[in-house]
Amino acid sequence: MPTHFGPTPGPREGRGTSVLVSPDRPRTTMLSVSMETSRDQLAEMLPERFEVGEEAIVTVSAGYMTDVPWLAGRGYNTLGVTFPAVFNGERERKSGDFLAVLWENLADPIISGREELGFSKLYCELPTPVVTNGETRCSASWLGFTFAELVVRNARPTTAQQMEAFSTRESDGLLHYKYVPRTGEWGKADAAYAVLTPAEDPYRTITGVWTAEGSVEFRQATWDELPTLYHVVNALHGLEMRSFVAASIIETRGAKDLRDQRILR
């Protein structure tokens, strides 16, 4: 919306795929930290027909994109929380990472990703990471209240074999749950179903990988501090972080336009 002006321009409604899809654009740097946590707590976050995957590991990833084709060369930043899950549908069974939440610092990809794709997107401020004394520190805030920090330290370049392992992980893709409320009938849905972002991306190339050590923290918030986000942040703050598993910095170029996004049955 508003549809009365015609389709909203975006990654799937633009001037042609030759302009908006490229093996060289955008350029992305993704910093990730993974921690072992409680399987029961992760299960509480999942919608119906979902179950936690083999490992109870939550991964928090901060992404920084530049030269995005559908934004005419501009960029935006993200902070996402995922964990392994399995969708058991009436017709199909798919496994991958479930996207619990994805914060972004620009309205345009949030609107497009929520309405068209079914990504669980929210807004927050995501400034450029601070790099000092061998540490890269990423933060997320809302109107001045910092609610999350991710730190990666002691990054080391990987070997060619390790880089190959990062690009060939087995997964059906990224799992989501799309929900759109019905106007005037509060508590009822116009849309409520599982969605899959298929793993294959012929346009994406990994150009660099560094393994590292890291930590992540969500700060408990009150309603006054985060009136529209406190329930999400506090749920993540309450996750039991048992042990550090891995941290990485991955640089990529190119990305598909997600036209292959589909409903799971």
What's the domain count of the chain?
A: 1
Surface-to-core class of residue 188, CB atoms within 10 Å of its CB (0-12 exposed, 13-18 middle, 19+ buried): exposed
* Cβ 126 vs Cβ 106: under 8 Å: no
Least confident of 8-12, 88-92, 98-102, 117-121: 8-12
pTM: 0.95
Supply the mean pLDDT for the chain: 94
Residue 97 covered by a domain = yes
The reply to whether 264 falls in a domain is: no
Per-residue pLDDT band at 213 (split at 50, 70, 90): very high
Structure-token pair, residue 126: 């995501």
In a domain, 265, yes or no: no
Residue 167 belongs to some domain of the structure: yes
Expressed as residue numbers, the domain containing 150 is 3-258
pLDDT at residue number 257: 94
Per residue in 20-65, pLDDT (tens digit) is: 788 999 999 999 999 999 999 999 999 999 999 999 999 999 999 9
Classify residue 30: in a domain, yes or no: yes
**Vertex 136: Cα angle to 135 and 137 (nearest 5):** 110
Q: Is residue 25 part of a domain?
A: yes
Q: What is the pLDDT of residues 153-171, one digit of tens each?
A: 999 999 767 766 665 568 9
Strands 22-36 and 243-255 turn out to be antiparallel
How far are the Cα atoms of 6, 79, 94, 195 from residue 1, in angstroms, in the given order?
9, 26, 31, 21
* CATH number, domain with residue 40: 2.40.400.10
Which residues have a Cβ under 8 Å from the Cβ of 52 and sit 6 or more positions away? 39, 42, 43, 46, 83, 84, 85, 86
Contact 99, 174 (CB under 8 A): yes
